[in-house]
């Protein structure tokens, strides 16, 4: 159980919205445009950590920057729209707001894209602020991002990080937050358990039981 009125930090991709179509579609477009054979396998493993950090393993260090530029171009044009809130998320956010929990978004995605997505899907009204990275790659590490967010907020009270990948869980633990892993995103239960999640939930409605009465 978390403390009353704990600050809640939500990851975006894989937690609030299913962003796979836009991210993977933009990646496949970028790889093909660079003249590199497009992998047939599932590329969802690339969602979670910063895309730029994972591309070298996929296309080689010599092509990484070119592919990333093509990826960013398509994602900026249309990829961010190829997205949808998960079932039950809007209702969850309504309940959290009604109960008085201060909610924030903490994502390695650039803030400009995160805000655009939240506004497009009418989710921004549920969050006090959005903490993301910069286009130049600043604050793409989740532990550093959360530390910066807490410092920006002058936060010294209880908090919860809710996310679908080990990066969210590890960042929560590094910052003294209760780590809630969600299984409807891009990470597995095993990944979340091995990262040390305090709680793992299988549907948005299950978060209600994790939060103490506010």
Active site residues: 11
The helix or strand, by DSSP H or E, that contains position 178, with its residue range, turns out to be strand 178-182
Residue owning tokens 């080990």: 166
Closest CA to 103 of 15, 31, 164: 15
- Cα dihedral 180/184/188/192 (nearest 10): 0
Which one, of 34, 103, 107, lies nearest residue 68 by Cα? 34
**CA atoms of 134 and 149, how far apart (whole Å):** 13
Distances (CA, A) of 45 to 81, 144, 174, 186: 20, 22, 23, 7
- 156 torsion bin: left (phi>0), alpha (psi -120 to 50), beta (else): alpha
**Beta strand pairing call for 84-85 and 17-18:** antiparallel
Written as six digits, the tokens of 84 are: 């949808």
């Amino acid at each position: 159980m978390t403390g009353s009125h704990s600050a809640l930090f939500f990851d975006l991709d894989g937690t609030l919205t299913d962003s796979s179509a836009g991210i993977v579609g933009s990646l496949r477009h970028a790889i093909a445009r660079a003249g590199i054979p497009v992998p047939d396998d599932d590329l969802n493993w690339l969602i979670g950590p910063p895309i730029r950090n994972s591309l070298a393993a996929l296309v080689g260090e010599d092509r990484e920057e070119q592919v990333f530029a093509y990826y960013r171009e398509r994602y900026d044009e249309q990829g961010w729209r190829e997205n949808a809130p998960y079932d039950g998320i809007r209702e969850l956010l309504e309940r959290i707001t009604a109960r008085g929990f201060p909610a924030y978004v903490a994502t390695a995605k650039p803030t400009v894209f995160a805000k655009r997505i939240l506004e497009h899907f009418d989710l921004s009204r549920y969050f006090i602020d959005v903490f993301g990275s910069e286009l130049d790659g600043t604050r793409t590490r989740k532990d550093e991002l959360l530390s910066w967010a807490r410092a920006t907020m002058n936060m010294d009270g209880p908090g919860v990080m809710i996310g679908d990948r080990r990066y969210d869980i590890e960042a929560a633990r590094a910052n003294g937050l209760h780590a809630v892993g969600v299984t409807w995103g891009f990470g597995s239960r095993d990944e979340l358990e091995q990262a040390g999640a305090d709680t793992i939930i299988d549907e948005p409605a299950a978060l209600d039981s994790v939060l103490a009465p506010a």
